[in-house]
Amino acid sequence: MKTKLFGLLMLAVLTFFSCKEIEKEADMAMEEAEAPDSADFDKKVAVVSAFYQAHCDEDIDALSSMLSDDMKWSPPGYNGNEWLGKEDLLAALKGYHDGFDNIKYAEGIVMPDSTANGFWSGSVFPVKNANASAGIIRVYGTWSATHTESGKEIGVKYFNLSSVNEDGKIVQSSDYFDVHGLAAQIAAQE
């Protein structure tokens, strides 16, 4: 009887520790699955950065080559939340090239005593939607240029959400900046 009891006790202990080990392995697998893919993030940031540099260089062919043919674009000015396409974005960029010289982009969030990182992805909050994905790249920065006709220096704070596909092409882009603020800067009396 003692042998059977000892055997049952050993079986219970082994089962308990086996279950704990399986639970621990499952937790580790979940942590690995949720771990951020820094290489994917860096690859997508490089695409977005190259796109901004091509805009600064006023290289419409390079810009076009970095956009997927079926990409969707949401312009900065409110348009009823209608998504536009690649040709619409290229036409808008060409308009900036025609109207401005010395286009420059400064990455980052300007704080009183520093400039924070300009590229972000994934989230911690809200907890129910938290993820470690680099699916959408959040971009913060400042654009500046010289208005060609007036010679005035202008600038605008900038926020963008971009998605990059496996082929390294931008497939979705949503811009946020004060379009009317640019016009006001140009129209302002000195």
Which pLDDT does position 12 carry in this prediction? 64
pTM for the predicted model, two decimal places: 0.81
Which of 13-22, 25-34, 167-176 has the lowest average pLDDT? Answer: 25-34
Which pLDDT does position 35 carry in this prediction? 84
- Tens digits of per-residue pLDDT, 69-107? 999 999 999 999 999 999 999 999 999 999 999 999 999
Percent of the chain with pLDDT over 70: 83
Structure confidence at residue 68 as a pLDDT band (50, 70, 90): very high
How far, in Å, are 2, 62, 75, 93, 141 from residue 57 at the CA level?
Answer: 85, 9, 21, 11, 17
Which pLDDT does position 26 carry in this prediction? 46
Structure confidence at residue 109 as a pLDDT band (50, 70, 90): very high
Structure confidence at residue 30 as a pLDDT band (50, 70, 90): very low
Peptide bond into 112 cis (omega under 30): no
CB 141 within 8 A of CB 118: yes
Q: Which residues contact 88 (CB under 8 A, 6 or more apart)?
A: 73, 75
Kindly tell me if the per-residue pLDDT of 185 is higher than 60. Answer: yes
Q: Which residues contact 43 (CB under 8 A, 6 or more apart)?
A: 164, 168
| Dihedral angle of Cα 39, 103, 59, 63, to the nearest 10 degrees | 40
Task: Name the DSSP letter for residue 84.
Answer: B
- Tens digits of per-residue pLDDT, 173-182? 999 999 999 9
Q: What is the mean pLDDT of the chain?
A: 89
Which pLDDT does position 6 carry in this prediction? 63
CB 62 within 8 A of CB 106: no
Assign 110 to helix, strand or coil.
Answer: strand
Give me 168's structure tokens.
């390294």
- Tens digits of per-residue pLDDT, 32-45? 456 899 999 999 99
- Mean pLDDT for 48-65 is 98
Element containing residue 48 per DSSP (H, E) = helix 38-56
How many helices (H) does the chain have, and how many strands (E)?
5, 8
